[in-house]
Amino acid sequence: MKRKISMFLVLVMLATMVLGACGKRDGNTGDTNDSSNTDVSSEGDSGSGSGEEKQLVAEIGPNPETIDPALNSAVDGGNMLLFAYDCLLNIDKDNNVIPGAAETYDISEDSLTWTFHLRKDLKWSDGSALTAEDFVYSWKRIADPDTAAPYAETVLGMVKGYDEAAGGNVDALGVSAPDDMTFVVELAHPCVYFDKLAAFVTLSPVNQATIEENGDAWATQPETYICNGPFYISEWVPSSYIIFKKNPNYRDKDSIKLDSIKLLLMEDSNAAYGAYQSGEAMMIKDVPTAEIPSLQENEEFYIDPLLGTYYIDLNNTLPQFSDAKVRTALSLAIDRKYVAETLMQGTYTAASNFIGNAVLDWDGSDFMDNANGGKPYIDIDDFEGNLAKAKQLMTEAGYPNGEGFPTINYSINDAGYHKVVAQYLQQAWKELGITVNIDVVEWASFTPMRRAGDYEASRDGWVFDYNDPSNMLDLMISTNGNNNAKYNNPDYDALMEKAAVEADAETRSGYLHQAEDLMMADMGVIPVAYYNEFYLQSPKITGSWHSPYGYWYFQYADITE
């Protein structure tokens, strides 16, 4: 668990690390089982460790949109999946890739065949055997267009036969199980970060029997939520709490010290703060922004870096946002330093690029430092000049002083700084003669609304799943399931396709930089700030850690007095 240290030191540390993967995520950040007879009290022990039940109580978000590994695309849901599933590979506290359900793996000389050797006697949480065929089924299910997995292309696009599988012939996907303990993946082209993908929660194994028997409802109730990780879901009361209980069939159950993890499902940060103050919760992710000044010297208040960007989606399919001049004008009218340093109270960092700090380039340097000829795409120190250019672009686009431009409906979920930023945008875009209405949407409905393109403008954000710039640049590919802005530029898609199949790391990096150049020239989305995570956590929690990908690894935690 990281203690507060200066952001400069944090970024230096991150930049020198080879980071791993484990989930996305546009977060609610400030962005089930064979257990029908549960013995975990809904009230539970607050986690003092003094009672018979050692339960850690935390708040990491409200009701998840989904906890189906194939469908999740949010930080909070991904964190829950980490408790419930064991991927082929995992990530340790130093962000290194380590063995998971696979004890070892081999890579062919041409880097195109990855052979994973599973551990002996793996089991599902209901006690039935887990074999390599379960991974075959799970990966094909992600590729199946009927599943509509938002991450499908990102995690499987490099696998041989993916295009055919995505077209409906799932058996074409290059995955196989020669025997119960061997899982083989054939790639169409080398992928330097494939080990990190093998540790990513989307590629968790899922139980075919429970899915076929229960359909989409399998991931909505404890009785049918069969998993293979250190915990299973024993109780779930929507909008109240969800309880993960220690899985007696987990391969490494003796290393799990907690009896259960109780997650309070809260969308109101004031309610979360009240739960922390009363001792009901030992950790809360959603801290009321009004409390931050008084918490700065509190040793239980943390500010940890995240690899990710807070940005704005403008629905590119709508006529009012189809002109890059308009999108760029709306971007330039934002005073990012004011947003990050004043509105966000210094807990975020003003964004000049799409890809932010500490994301590694091909040679281990900072990708951001090498972007755009070494110059920022947006001069965050010259807001007056930016605003003047914004007004000029609106005139060139045919909307002088905003004349004729329709009112913008800006959608947010009510957490963290989203509302205060939205209110600022009302003032900022009014300088261009544009009126903004704010539409507050509950979290469970917010992400599917955005993904479907059922909005005009919206706050968005991405926290990296693995430290490679493609993880974020892939979002802007026209066919990507997480392309909420519906950005569509064939030249961009072509550059990303070249990068995907390029074996030479330096040449690949060049394609990625060109892609970011093009997207920023188009202003496909509007980067606003780089994420940091702020939260409260009791010192009684030991042995856990928080990753730069936005996850709390409570599955390894203990509770002390």
Report the topology of domain 31-281.
Answer: D-Maltodextrin-Binding Protein; domain 2 (3.40.190)
Instruction: Among 3.40.47.10, 3.30.30.10, 3.30.200.20, 3.10.105.10, name the CATH number for the domain at 304-533.
Output: 3.10.105.10
For residue 276, the surrounding DSSP H or E stretch is helix 269-278
Classify the C-alpha dihedral 372-332-321-412 as positive or negative. Answer: positive
Classify the C-alpha dihedral 489-479-367-383 as positive or negative. Answer: positive
In the prediction, which pLDDT does 42 show? 33
75 is written with which tokens? 């930080």
In the prediction, which pLDDT does 354 show? 98
In the prediction, which pLDDT does 5 show? 34
Asked if residue 429 lies in contact with residue 390, where contact means CB atoms within 8 angstroms, the answer is: no
Mean pLDDT of each 10-residue bin along the chain, 561 residues long: 34 34 40 31 39 89 94 94 98 94 97 97 98 98 97 95 97 98 97 94 98 96 98 97 98 97 95 97 95 94 94 98 98 98 94 95 94 96 98 98 98 92 98 98 92 96 92 95 96 96 93 98 98 95 95 96 80
R_g of the chain, CA atoms, integer Å: 23
In the prediction, which pLDDT does 416 show? 83
Asked if residue 63 lies in contact with residue 534, where contact means CB atoms within 8 angstroms, the answer is: no
Q: How far apart are CA 68 and CA 164, in angstroms?
A: 24
Which of 287, 268, 243, 269 has its CA nearest to residue 56?
243
In the prediction, which pLDDT does 116 show? 98
164 is written with which tokens? 């055919």
Residue type, 411: S
What is the three-class DSSP state of 310? strand
Task: Give CATH 3.10.105.10 domain extents, the chain.
Answer: 304-533
Q: What is the pTM of this model?
A: 0.82
Strand order of the β-sheet with 175-179 is 102-107, 113-118, 182-186, 175-179
Distances (CA, A) of 505 to 193, 468, 499: 12, 12, 9
Task: Give CATH 3.40.190.10 domain extents, the chain.
Answer: 31-281
In the prediction, which pLDDT does 552 show? 97
